[in-house]
Structure 1
Amino acid sequence: MALNIAIIGGGPAGLMLACLLHLSPIAIRVAIFESDAGPTSRSQGSTLDLHPDSGLAAIKKAQLWTEFKQHARYDGEALRFIDKDFTIWFENENPGGDEARSNGRPEIDRVKLRDILLNSVPQEIIKWGRRLQSVELMPGDADCFGLVFKDGTREDGFDLVVGADGAWSHVRSSYLSDEQPFSTGIHGLITSIPMAATTDPDTYKLVNRGSVFSYSDGKGINAQYIGDGSINVTAWFTQQHGFITQPSQPKTAAALQPYIQTHYGDWSPNLTRLFAHVDDGIWQTELYMLPVDWRWQHKRGVTLIGDAAHLMTPFAGEGVNLALSDAADLADAIISTVSAHPFKCSTATSVHDALDAAISTAEETIYKRSRAIRKTTYENMHDQFFSQTPMSSFLPRVAARTLLINDPWFAGGSELLARVLMRGALWGGLLWRWLKGWISQ
C-alpha cells in the first residue's frame, strides 16, 4: 500500500515535486493533473535565471544537473539597467558562456526547463487536459480526497492534494482560501525580434545575449535574449499612463510603432527602436499578485506550492526559484515521513498524523522564505513604476534589496548600508564607463 498524491499543475513546481517523489526509495503513487491539452499546447514564456541556493539546488537534488547544463546559458547573465535617456547605470558583462567566469546564475529558456522536468517523470503519470474545478473531502474519511474536474469527471482516493496550479489556483480557491490575486495596475505588450543577430544587429549587440531593463515615468522597456536566437521585447505601462483607456491595443508590428512613439516620445530613440524589427505576434498581459503577507490556514491533506502559494510580479527574478525550492521542501517532508512511518492499512492514521505535522512545518518554511521575497518584489515594483523617481535614485535601493536576499555576506544585514554600497558602486561604474569612453576617443 502506497501513499497516493495528486499534484494539480504541470509547471516547474509540480513537475519538480513529482520528480523528487519519483526518486524516493519508498513507493509513493503520484498523478499530475494538468489543464493544458499537451506539452506544446501553449507558449511557455521567455527565459529564467536560476540561483545557486534555490533553483539550482533543487535541480541538483533532482539529479538533473547534467541535463540542465546542456541548455543553460551562462552568457545570459549579461545585464544592463538603462534610464530613459540611455544612461547605463548598471552593467554586468557577458561571461561568454564560461561557467567559471559567471555569477553562478545561468539563464535557461522556460520551455527547456519544462522539457527537462517533463522528461524526468514517467509520462503515464501526467494526465493532460484535466482542468480542476474543486477539491472535496470524501464523506466519512478525514484523510481521503476527491478531485472534481470541469468536464464533469472526478478522481478519488488521494491522501494528499498539492496545488501547483498557478496564479488562479482552483485548489486554493475551492478548499483553502477565498483570497484572490489583485491587479497591480501594470500591463504589458510582449513581442519578439526573430533571428535577432541578422534581423536587428544593433539590438542584438545592446542586449548582448542577456537582458536590458529600463524604467521611468511609470513605464518600462525590457529586452531578453532567448536561446532560439530571438529577443523578447516588452513595453510596460501603468493604468495612470493611459494603457487601459486606449480604445484598442495594437495587434500588429506596424500598429505598434506609432503606439510606442506616443507613449515613449521623450525616451531615447536607442530604446524605442527596440520595437523597430519585431514580428506581428503581440501578447497583452496584466500583472497580478497575492498580498505580501497572505498565507492560507493550514488544512490537513491539502497544500500549495509555487505561484498558487505566493503569486508575485517578476521584478525580483525569484518566482521560479521559490517554486522549485517549495517543491524540494515539500518532497523532503513527504519522503522523510513515509520513510519513518511505513504506510500500511493498520498504521494509516498515524502516517497521516505524521504527514500532516511535516507538511505544516514545510508550509511555515515556504511562507517565511516567500514573505521576504514578496516584500522585496513589491518594493522593487513600487520603485520602478510608482515612485516617480529617476533610475539613478531607485536603482541603488533595488540593488541593495537584491544583495540582501542573495548574498550570504549581507543576508539579514542593514539595508541602509547595502544602499550606500550600491549607490557608490553604481556611480563608480558610471564614472568608469565614462573614463573608458573618453580614453578610447
Structure 2
Amino acid sequence: MFDTAQIILMALFLGLHWSCAVPVVVIRCLAAALVLVLFWRMLGYMMVMEGLGNFVRMVQEVTWDLRWFFVFLGFIFAGFTLSILVLAVDLSPGQGSDSDGPRHPIFVLVLVRLYTMMYSNFDPDILLDPDSGAAAAVTSLSAVVCSIFMMFVSIILLNLLIAVIGDAYDRVSYDREVNRMKSKAALVVEVDLLLPRWFRKQCDETFFHASHGHVVMILQEERRLEPAEGGKAPTPVSAPPAVHGSSEPSGTAEVAWVAESTGRLGVMKALIGSGMANTQAAVSGMQVAVREQKVQLDALKEQLDKLQGLDMGARLDAMQTKVSELGTTQLRALEAVRTMQEQLSRLCEQLQAARPAAEDREAAATAVRAEPSAPSNTTSGQERVEPAARGRSNHRRRQANTPPPVEEERLNS
C-alpha cells in the first residue's frame, strides 16, 4: 500500500513540477505527503530488528485494530456536533466570532470546541455561565450535552482504547519470533524482486540451484533446556542437537528441547501436533466409554433373553404348589408330634403305675437274701415278713411326700 502511494505521489510531484500547471503550494503539499509516506515506509526496514521491530509491529497492529474504534468515535463526534448545532440554530453568525479576530462560522466553532474537549480542554464557563462571554453560542442545555460528551469520551472510550492497545501488545509479544522471521523473509523476497532478472537467475543457479528443483526453506531453531531446581525456569544451552530428535545417553539428566518458531511452518506444525494429540486423547476416551457401554448393553441383553425364555406364570404356579406342599408337610409333622406326645404321656402313666409293684418285689427279694440259711420256727418267718412290710410302708410314705414328675418335664428331658 505504501509502495503504491509512494509511486503515485512521486509521479504527481514530478509531473506537476515539470508542467508548471499548478501553484507552488500544491507541489509543497504533495512533497510533504511524500516525505511522510517515505518515512513511514522506512519503518518497514526496521521490523527485521529484534528490539525495534516488535515496537514497529505493535504500532502497526494497534493502528489496524483501532480502525473500528475511530469509526465509532466519528459517529459519536458527529452526533454531538449536530446536537449542539441544533441548540444554537437561532443565533446569528456574528455571535460566533471573536471581537478582535476573524469571523468563523458556528459550525467551525462547535467542531473545534468538541475536538479540544476530547483532549480534556474543557472551559468551565460553559457550565457556570453558558450564555455569556466566549460561550455565548451555547445554551444551558448544550452545556449538559457537552458534559455528557466529555464524560463519555474521557471515561468509556479512553478505557476502551487502553484495552485495545493492551490486547494488541499481548498478541504481538506472543508471536514476536514468528513476526520477526516473517519480516525477514518478506524483506528477502522484496530485495529479490528488485534485482534484475538475469542477476537473480545467476544467483539461483550459483547458490541455490533452483533450476534443479531445490527449494530454500526457513526452518526452526532448536535449543536445549537444562532442567532447573527450585521451580525456576529452565536454562537454555546454546549448543543445538546433532540429530533432530536424538535422545541423551543413559545416566545423564533429562533434557527438554524447545523450538523457537522461525516461520509459519513451525506454528502450523505446533498447532497440528497439539490438535492431533487432543484428538487422539478424545478418541481414546470415546473408545473406552463405548467399550463400557457395550459391556453393559450385553449384560442387559442377557437378562432380557433369560426373562423372555422363561414362563413366569408357570414358575409362579410351581412356587405356589411348593408352598402348599410345605404347609401340608408342616401340618403332618405337627400331628405326628402330638401323637408322640400322647404316647409318651401314656407310657409315663404306665411306668408310674408299675413302679410300686416293682419296688415291692425288690424289697421282698432283698428280705429273702437277708434271711439265714435254715429257718427254725414260725416266729422267724413272722420276723421275715415284718421287714418287708416295713420297707413297703416306708416306700409309700416317700412316694406320698414326693410328687410325681410332670409330663412336660419328661418330654423336655
What range describes the TM-score normalised by the shorter chain of this pair?
under 0.3
From the two aligned structures, give the one with the greater strand fraction.
1
From the two aligned structures, give the one with the greater helix fraction.
2
TM-score by length of 2: 0.18
Higher relative contact order (CA 8 A, sep 6+): 1
